[in-house]
A and B are shown apart, each in its own frame.
Chain A
């Protein structure tokens, strides 16, 4: 009854949406294109004003995409699992298993086998999570935490067993093939160097997309629409999602809830493991202990940022990948980014004024002012600013938009067949 609204939200009840406030502008193809163009224009403007070419150089963008892949795969894993109603904070552990699997099989049989082994190791982690949460009804957070600990322990032991001399890392893994569009990518590089407004920035992006792109990137990116198709366009997907929304209703219509949850959590583990595999084989070329460094959690954050949807999760992963890429760049670039934020906030503020949302407009303009002051009074930003950006962004998104976010209704709630809710 209504009392329950006042109770402590269980992990599953967080972010309870207010249905009436959920009216958002639908993102059509044109609006999306306009948004992307707007972002490029802002970056371009800032690049020209500050001279910090690295904020959208082809190298930066390629790095951002590369770094976004493991995040996106972990997030996609989270999406599968949570859409079926199982909260999966064990993604990090599954990803660790994936990195090790890739390091082991990658050094022995080549990078492709490494990726397959990574996915398989992750899937095993997912299976353990499924057994604990679906079959035994253990609290999903507790099980996830335990899997994170277990993933670390198992890989440490296996490393010591397999690479006794140097147990914290593997020998290097042979590199995976890359794709370059001959002629075109060089042409883009040439245009990018001209420094033209907007045009050069677009060229940088195209250069990044056509020059030495690892094949895994294509696989990973393809997995997004594939997931969308499977979950939103097939009967299987509808049933799987129904387990996350209304499992009792689903069961009453003959859906095998346990089976679908199992499949979802195992796939979730496989995707996180694949993400770990990419981290080891493609990004690092080596397995190193502690390599994941919380990418699994950031993936989870990207998924929440993306409102449990494929497109949003892709955008979130890119954003987080970009901030990580900026970490590797010079302090100038990060500093210039501050100006980009100022411009973006001003644009947002003006738009809000136009939409007559005055309080929102004032907030963003004030924040823009503060950020601008910060920008003009400093020359560089501490490296740590870029490091904490994904985490702070997640906290901000959650605290500002938690009413707009919509998690699956039965997410996090143990489902026991036949028991009333």
Chain B
């Protein structure tokens, strides 16, 4: 069912984009499948933009609410009575018309899409006969699979079906793409996270943890999995930064480290 509803349609859209891109002159020298992954990622991110925008707005609303004096007063007043605190918080949400799950529900909806996108890329990059059989079974009749296969899996200096690394004479290859993934993930997480009014509260702690773990996690994926996936991560991160920028939600103070001090001073 998962394959039927998510992975197969995504694989076919990806291959359809590839079938168009591969006809563009000189594309074989750049790498048609790399371009197809980039276009497909942008397409998916555009399609899920309403969800992302809703998530960004909800996050901001929550952030503003948590910085309000009323919220802080409730926290202080019911500090020792957790049940009462929870009840008062819910009442406050209702009064302000804020859905406490408004920021995480869109994320949950997007999660299967991201997993499906990832699987579609991996499936299309079949690197063994057995994977080719699976790919063949995913392709709809309107695409002539036998003409598309094998995909041009070279993109710039990379083989998209293999982890990336540049050899410069060292005993090991430099994983440039994994570094780019880690850096863009760090930038995306940092720029999208407004500074917390209280550096010691739970949200701030979780944000700091995310800022550390997410780049490491995605960097590790890029290091060990097919570089086609790393291309998706980079484009997805850059698109996300652009999305936040377009909505005026980028917080450069977080990146420069000044935001925290500014807020701290204001306390």
A, B in one complex: no
